[in-house]
Structure formats: structure tokens, C-alpha cells
Amino acid sequence: MQYFTIISEALLFIPDKRENEITYWEEEMKRYDFFYNKHGEFVAYYKSDKYDLDATYFTKAPKNWQPVIAMMRYDSDKKFCSTHDWLVRGLVAHKMYNEYAKGRWERIRCWF
């Protein structure tokens, strides 16, 4: 869901001039880097083959848990979701979007 939201936003703001599209997609590819830098500790753990922090990141949220950010509707069921589901979703969405943006950038570069 988040992946499609990111794509929808990006497609709405594509510049009219083709030559500006290259720069636009170059900037869009930086979104993954921004996410990675902002949540680097989690991303590094998620990509590692370690399990020592699974209880922190992937167990069900406690009943008294209050989210630090506004949660999406599908993340709000405390009986089902963990406290960090939004990070997993964000990481996967940004990685997929980075591949999409890179593909668009490569196709446009071929035109010039």
C-alpha cells in the first residue's frame, strides 16, 4: 500500500519538460537513501542474519503501547501488529520504489 502511495505522489509531480525528468528521477532515487539514513539501525538489523533484537522489533505490541507516529489503518490493530511494522513496510516500499525510479531514470537517459 505504501509503495503505491509513493508512486502515485511521484507520478503527480513529474516535470513537463523531458530534460527535467532526469533530475527529477535522480532526486526520487534519493528517497531510499533518506529512509536508510533515518532508520539505519533498524535497516542494518533487518538486513543482517541476526535474531537477537527480534523481540524488540517483531513481537506483538503491548496493550498499553502508544505509537510515536500516526499509524496507518492496517497498522493499528494491537492484537496483530508489532511496534515496528511501519518500519518494515517503509523499508520494503522504499526499496521497491527505488528500483522503479531507477528504471524510469534509465529509460529517460536513453532518450538523450
- Kindly give, in sequence order, each residue whose CB lies less than 8 Å from that of residue 28, ignoring residues fewer than 6 positions away: 10, 97, 101, 104, 105
4-54: pLDDT as tens digits: 999 999 999 999 988 899 999 999 999 999 999 999 999 999 999 999 999
What's the total number of domains in the chain?
Answer: 1
Chain centroid, CA 17 distance in Å? 27
Q: What is the pTM of this model?
A: 0.81
Rounded Cα distance between 94 and 36, Å, is: 9
Cα dihedral 2, 76, 60, 45 in deg (nearest 10): 30
82-98: pLDDT as tens digits: 778 889 999 999 999 99
Structural domain containing residue 23: 2-110
- Of 103, 90, 67, 74, residue with least CA distance to 2: 90
